[in-house]
Amino acid sequence: MPERLANRLKDRRGELGLTQAELAEKVGVTRKTVNTVENGIFTPSATLAIKLARALDLSVEQLFWIEG
Amino acid sequence: MTERSVSERADFLSRRRARTLPALAIIYFAQQATFLSALGNGSHRDVDHFKIGAWVVLSAVLLLALVTKGFWFQPKEIRDLIDDESTRANRLEAMRLGFLFACGAALAAYFIDEFQPLTVGEAAHLVLTFGLGAALIRFGMLERRAHRDA
């Protein structure tokens, strides 16, 4: 089974009461990019992963992990 | 009327592009039907020269829209936001497919030329039409998928 990058973006965003658009604005991308990362369609760059983790007050390892 | 934020505006324009590009690509392909049916004739009437001129202009505009950030009349901050990293990844994937289609069209032109001689212009027309058209459709599809909620 191929490896994939799983994440808890949606759960964490929900915990903090943020919409996709609000999170996107915090990290300087479009809502579409947050949506694709959240759904596992797009694997973010290291830079974006760090920005997302910071915006959600988690470490990158807590936000993303490898499955498979 | 409420003022839209930069990110809302970027999202709106990005969605519009995702809807528009595949439609433009289909129109672009449809316009080529008459050209492709006359392939190998070599000679062109005056009206054909006009059509080919329009095709060259349309091709250049679509190519620029694909390879640049597009939305040339929007403020820089919106243009930069629309061209974020998932968009750039989608564009690269679309251009990879476009390159493969262009190579396929070049091979097809080579074989067609064995039976029905083609001019350089006709061969270039084939390569550009299929390469650019495939890239536009793929980019539009990837962008539409990216906007779709799970």
Query: A28 contacts in B (CB within 8 Å)?
Result: 81, 84
Distance to chain B for A43, nearest Cα, Å: 9
Query: B145 contacts in A (CB within 8 Å)?
Result: 41
Above 60 in pLDDT, residue B1? no
ipTM: 0.86
Inspect the interface and report whether the beta carbons of B11 and A21 lie closer than 8 Å: yes
**CA atoms of B79 and B38, how far apart (whole Å):** 41
What pTM did the predictor assign? 0.86
List the beta bridge partners of residue A65: A6
Q: What is the mean pLDDT of chain B?
A: 86
Q: Which domains are delineated in chain A?
A: 4-59 (1.10.260.40)
Residue spans of the domains in chain B: they are: 6-147
Cβ contacts below 8 Å, chain A against chain B, sum to 53
On the CB side of B87, CA atoms within 13 Å amount to: 23
Inspect the interface and report whether the beta carbons of A31 and B145 lie closer than 8 Å: no
Find out whether B87 and B16 touch, Cβ atoms under 8 Å. no
List the beta bridge partners of residue A7: A64
Whole-angstrom CA distances from B26 to A4, B36, B135 are: 34, 15, 12
pLDDT in tens, B36-60: 776 666 556 666 777 778 888 889 9
